[in-house]
Amino acid sequence: MTTANLNPERATEAVEGRRTFISWITAGALVLSAGLMGIFNLIFLRPRVTYGPPSKFRVGKPDGYSSGAEVVFPAARVVVRRRGDEFAAISLVCTHLGCVVNPTDSGFDCPCHGSKYDSAGNVVAGPAPKRLSWYRIAQAPNGELEVDKRKEVDSGTYLEVKA
Amino acid sequence: MSMDKVQIPWTDSDGKPGFWGALHSLPRRVYHSVFRSRPIPANDLERSQAVAANFFFHLHSAKVQERTLRFKTTLGLGLLSLYTFVILVVTGILLMFYYVPTPVEAYDRMLDLRGAVFFGTFLRNLHRWSAHAMVGLVFLHLMRVFLTGAHKAPREFNWMVGIVLFLLTLLLSFTGYLLPWDQLAFWAIVVGTSIASYAPVVGDELRYVLLGGDSVGAEALLRFYVLHVAVLPVVLTTLIGLHFWRIRKDGGLAKPREK
């Protein structure tokens, strides 16, 4: 039953048109604001500041490492390696599902699903899809070595530190 | 003695109820303000009215097919899922009184629940076993519905609501897994969120938002806690309401076509 049947005097075509128009405007405004709120909530949930371990951290002076040393930093999940006068930082996070790999004589083994890597971090066995990350290592102004986990470098990239 | 001198004890001289009359009828009026029907219905009409007038029963149809009431029709799996959820809400709220979602406290609080809280071990185990049971029961309920063809028209929408309820059950199970903050929980979430990051296009972003950072830490614990105790239960409860309401609106439980 249309409005004209209910109240023939008031319900002109102009009124019906206006009602339809207002209904659409209201519905549109509701959908728009709900959509925007959804997007804003997603942005809200994506943290701008994280409270985890910093991605850039210092690992001591070069003299602290004997030649051939491999020092594990458990909290950062990085191993710092010295070969002669060259330094490298290799990730200890398995590229399969994120477990921490253990350094072994032949390279690195993952305890979770059996991935094996050689000493350069290349995949030898197991489900790991790619090699372990190598991170950029640089010398800070005070002489300490600094690892930056945001910057990945090619496998086999060493930093030469002159004594 | 004329008749107009006789006064009924609980009325005043005008024949109105008066104070004592009101007091006399008080229990009955209080009862009827709460319950709209008589305590024990006398006939079928009153029985259906009693169901319709009761908040806890109003989701039921006043009339149901007799065969859908038989245990072997549904094996009671839907209601059993609901009961485990009720147990999980009650025990979960009680556990919240003692649990603190921070890396420093969480594990110790979990141990305290087992060692220092009255009935704590029972509560925690009840919560854990009910959680396992709920996942199993919801899955079996889905199987029953599918194998009896109850997902077909006109119940396709409710089937999809059921699928979402199943996913929410799994998400609740997953988010609750992290909360003890022991080695098992930690590495399970490391692996689980890494699996999430394999999702095409949004994977890495999804993991970042889920963990509140790049690694499983304090932020991840807090996020999983809020999802587990607030967001997911509210969504689940709302959808359970919709699910039950739709059962009625779709004509009760599925049954073979009339011959």
**From 3.20.20.330, 1.20.810.10, 3.40.50.300, 3.60.20.10, which CATH number describes the B72-249 domain?**
1.20.810.10
Positions in chain B short of pLDDT 70: 1-13, 15, 62, 259
The C-alpha atoms of residue B95 and residue B118 are separated, in whole angstroms, by 11
A163 is written with which tokens?
């004594």
Instruction: Judge whether B100 and B108 are in contact, CB under 8 Å.
Output: no
**DSSP H or E run through A148:** strand A145-153
Half-sphere exposure of B76 (CA within 13 A, CB side): 5
Residue B9's pLDDT is 61
Residue A6's pLDDT is 65
Average pLDDT score over residue span A30-42: 96
Instruction: Judge whether B69 and B60 are in contact, CB under 8 Å.
Output: no
Of the candidates A42, A46, A98, the beta carbon closest to that of B191 is on A98
Residue A53's pLDDT is 79
Of the candidates B194, B214, B218, the beta carbon closest to that of A97 is on B194
Chain A partners of B187 at a C-beta cutoff of 8 Å? 99, 112
Instruction: Judge whether A115 and A125 are in contact, CB under 8 Å.
Output: yes
Among A70, A68, A69, A87, smallest CA distance to A79 is for: A70
Q: Per residue in B20-46, pLDDT tens? A: 888 888 898 898 888 877 778 889 888
Residue A8's pLDDT is 63
Is A53 in CB contact (< 8 Å) with chain B?
yes
Domain boundaries, chain A: 3-45, 56-160
Top-level CATH class of A56-160?
mainly beta
Candidates A46, A96, A97, A110, partner chain B, best to mutate (most B CBs within 10 A): A97
Residue B1's pLDDT is 46
The C-alpha atoms of residue B215 and residue B122 are separated, in whole angstroms, by 33
Residue appearing with tokens 């889920």: B210
Average pLDDT score over residue span A35-56: 90
**DSSP H or E run through B206:** helix B203-211
Average of per-residue pLDDT values in chain A: 88
Give, rounded to a whole angstrom, the gap between the first and last alpha carbons of chain B.
75
Of the candidates A42, A50, A96, the beta carbon closest to that of B219 is on A50
Sign of CA dihedral A73, A78, A82, A86: negative
Burial class for B215, CB neighbours closer than 10 Å (0-12, 13-18, 19+): middle
Domain boundaries, chain B: 16-63, 72-249
